[in-house]
Structure 1
Amino acid sequence: MPILHTDFLLPALALGVALGWLGGLFGIGGGLIAIPVLGLACGLDQLHAQGTALVMVLPNVVIGFWRYRARHGIAWRPALLLGLTAIAGSEFAAHLATGLPAVTLRLMFAGFLIVLAGWLLRGLRRAPPATAAPAPAVLSARWLPAVGLAGGLMSGLFSVGGGIAAVPLLTGLFGTRQAVAQGLALALVTPGSAAALFAYARAGAVDWPLGLALAFGGVLSVSAGVAFAHRLPERRLRALFALGIVATAGAMLASA
């Protein structure tokens, strides 16, 4: 049964605005923030938190991909290749996730957050200058489906993370420019998120009223978060976000 009632509509919208703004601010996506909040603050179990967060994530990634493509001229062929292969991975992983105990899924997600935080901090230490040329390609484009499949598996299992993993793979192995890699990662996440949402909804693991309220609020504020992020030092911002992920993972482990 949905947990959202009329009395909670405005708080849910406000939460969506906050999550959308934070997702735009950190440039990683509102789902990473929304899932722990829905679990710890709203009382949803891990499965329902992930399914409900997808309702908010999906329109945000669609808008994000459209803007990246318009600004950076991203080709349709690699975008479609990544997106279609991600669907297969997302569908399989989402079915797997819906069959796991909620506590097991929460522990897995907390572990994923800790690994992700370490990855982000390592990337800050090793990040090249913004003016540096893209790395030379190590793999040919025929390996792109493997990136889509891996990203789809991560998106389906945890609702988030596929795009984050895809960006360093695209820049480091395929010689893709950072901005184009981020746009292609959104192309990967968009259909994968839709497939995962369908699987979670079919399992009854989506609170639609709450998810739609969060989505509406997030769409209103994500652009403002992106704009504000440009005023802050990026390395410091991402370091704080990585530390925040570690703290969130610790809270989830303590409450599991």
Structure 2
Amino acid sequence: MDHTSRPAILPLALLGALTGMLSGLFGIGGGVILVPMLVMFLGFQQRLAAGTSVAAILPAAVVGGIGYAVQGNVDWIAAVALAAGVIGGAQLGSFLLSRVPTGFLRWMFMGFLAVVVVSLWFVVPQRGDEISMSVLNAILLVVTGFITGVLSGLLGVGGGVVVVPVLMFFFGASDLVAKGTSLIMLIPGSISGTIGNARRRNVDLRAAAVLGIAASLMSPIGSVVATHIPPFWSNVAFSALLAFILVQMLLTTLRKRGK
């Protein structure tokens, strides 16, 4: 898709609603769903899809984060530490986005999905777990945020697919606290990445607005549903969803190479 070809509002709104539901349910910005969907079904070029996704993440992250915060499922100190790293990382990621070949981005994204799918089977937290904060952990959270920000700007993912497993596995957070903290962290990352992408014309702001508004309407529902799903089955559902997307992207990529 080029900048003169604009997708209709209805498919964008439906995709945004799906993204918002999944965002609230799994604590992700939704880019891990949004980027491949924009590429496969709405004809976006990979680079433009990544930039548009980063912008669309913002409303869903704000509304979903508030939903988790109201339920007491946000570690604010961890969120601030992560956000401090995300802001700089997102700028670097958006800088690299305009310089990395599209084909490489696509394969990098698929490799990233594969790692997350596998990791989810090894990270099954308990609902009562909390993050033990120390100076070392605070520094590690900033580093995690920076790496997440780079991935966010480069791949168009909000970073929740990185942060949620990392908070559970390495920092001892419960699944709900990991999801809520992740959504709060995504807010500055989305703003920072979008500013960089807009300067480099790697974002469709009209599409991002439609996607983001629709997503923000469904995100609170997902955050409420998440509290009623056991952690193990939440991980199973998330890994199955990502595996489905990975297979679809792989098949699409192989078909294009075969032509």
| TM-score, structure 2 as length reference | 0.82
| Residue ranges of structure 2 left out of the alignment (5+ in a row) | none
Deviation digits for residues 128-166 of structure 1, max 9, x if unmatched?
5x3565587795434322122122122122121522222
Within 5 Å, give how 1:147-166 maps onto structure 2: 147-160=144-157, 162-166=159-163
Closer, same or farther: CA 241–68 of 1 in aligned 2, 3 Å: same
Instruction: Note if contact 1:151-1:189 (Cα within 8 Å) is conserved in structure 2.
Output: no
Closer, same or farther: CA 228–94 of 1 in aligned 2, 3 Å: same
What residue in structure 2 maps to residue 70 of structure 1? 70
What residue in structure 2 maps to residue 4 of structure 1? 6
Query: Alignment partner for residue 196 of structure 1, among 193, 196, 201?
Result: 193
What residue in structure 2 maps to residue 80 of structure 1? 80
In structure 2, what is the Cα distance between the partners aligned to 1:32 and 1:228? Answer: 20
- Residue 2 (structure 1) shift: 4.6
Deviation digits for residues 154-192 of structure 1, max 9, x if unmatched?
212212152222233333433434333322222322211
Within 5 Å, give how 1:48-197 maps onto structure 2: 48-72=48-72, 74=74, 76-123=76-123, 127-128=124-125, 130=126, 133=129, 139-160=136-157, 162-197=159-194
How many residues of Structure 1 are paired with residues of Structure 2 in the alignment?
Answer: 250
What residue in structure 2 maps to residue 33 of structure 1? 33
Instruction: Note if contact 1:152-1:188 (Cα within 8 Å) is conserved in structure 2.
Output: no
Q: Which moved more, 1:81-90 or 1:135-144?
A: 135-144
Matching residue's letter, 2:188: P
Q: Which moved more, 1:225-234 or 1:183-192?
A: 225-234
In structure 2, what is the Cα distance between the partners aligned to 1:171 and 1:140? Answer: 13
In structure 2, what is the Cα distance between the partners aligned to 1:119 and 1:83? Answer: 23
Instruction: Note if contact 2:12-2:211 (Cα within 8 Å) is conserved in structure 1.
Output: yes
Instruction: Note if contact 2:27-2:183 (Cα within 8 Å) is conserved in structure 1.
Output: no
In structure 1, what is the Cα distance between the partners aligned to 2:164 and 2:19? Answer: 22
In structure 1, what is the Cα distance between the partners aligned to 2:46 and 2:154? Answer: 11
In structure 2, what is the Cα distance between the partners aligned to 1:221 and 1:64? Answer: 9
- Residue 73 (structure 1) shift: 6.6
- Residue 240 (structure 1) shift: 2.3
Q: Percent identity?
A: 31
- Residue 205 (structure 1) shift: 1.3
- Residue 246 (structure 1) shift: 2.8
- Residue 122 (structure 1) shift: 3.7
| Residue ranges of structure 1 left out of the alignment (5+ in a row) | none
In structure 2, what is the Cα distance between the partners aligned to 1:201 and 1:188? Answer: 21
3-state SS in 2 of match to 1:176: coil
Please tell me whether residue 212 in structure 1 is matched to residue 209 in structure 2. Answer: yes
Instruction: Note if contact 1:65-1:186 (Cα within 8 Å) is conserved in structure 2.
Output: yes
In structure 2, what is the Cα distance between the partners aligned to 1:162 and 1:114? Answer: 15
In structure 1, what is the Cα distance between the partners aligned to 2:141 and 2:23? Answer: 27
Deviation digits for residues 198-222 of structure 1, max 9, x if unmatched?
1111111111222211112212223
Instruction: Note if contact 2:81-2:138 (Cα within 8 Å) is conserved in structure 1.
Output: no
Instruction: Note if contact 1:20-1:222 (Cα within 8 Å) is conserved in structure 2.
Output: yes
Matching residue's letter, 1:116: V
Matching residue's letter, 1:168: P
| TM-score, structure 1 as length reference | 0.83
Matching residue's letter, 2:19: L
Please tell me whether residue 46 in structure 1 is matched to residue 43 in structure 2. Answer: no
Instruction: Note if contact 1:93-1:154 (Cα within 8 Å) is conserved in structure 2.
Output: yes
